[in-house]
Amino acid sequence: MSESLPPTVFYMLEKNVGHRVLVIVDPQYGYEGVLTAVTHDPPGIWLSNADAVILRSTIAQPFPQVVSKENRSEIFVNVRNIQRLEVVHKSK
């Protein structure tokens, strides 16, 4: 059996339940949606109103930007596959 994840990972995820997040699973691919649940076994997160997103970066803009979205409704992402998770703040 593999080692368990530190409880601080789950605490960080659980405090963001209800927020819109961008989950990067690959340098060019990820998901954006509302974090609705965090599970410990298997370790993962559930997103609702989710979109699969394609990310691109350039020399001029080294931080990846979302260039396209495709509706996926609800999705489960294993925590071990997440490279980065960002809380998306709506601009006013």
pLDDT digits (tens, 9 = 90+) for 70-85: 998 899 999 999 999 9
| 65 belongs to a structural domain | yes
Does the pLDDT at position 5 exceed 70? no
pLDDT at 1: 41
Does the pLDDT at position 37 exceed 70? yes
Q: Any idea what the CATH number is for the domain that residue 82 is in?
A: 2.30.30.100
Q: Give me the number of domains the chain comprises.
A: 1
Task: Tell me the average pLDDT across 10-24.
Answer: 91
Confidence bin at 92 (pLDDT 50/70/90) = low
Residue 21 is part of which domain span? 7-87
Does the pLDDT at position 23 exceed 90? yes
| 1 belongs to a structural domain | no
Task: Tell me the average pLDDT across 41-70.
Answer: 91
| 2 belongs to a structural domain | no
Encoding tokens for residue 9? 């990972």
Q: Is there a cis peptide before residue 43, judged by omega within 30 degrees of 0?
A: no
pTM as predicted: 0.81
Place of tokens 């370790």: 43
| 55 belongs to a structural domain | yes
Return the SS3 of 66.
strand
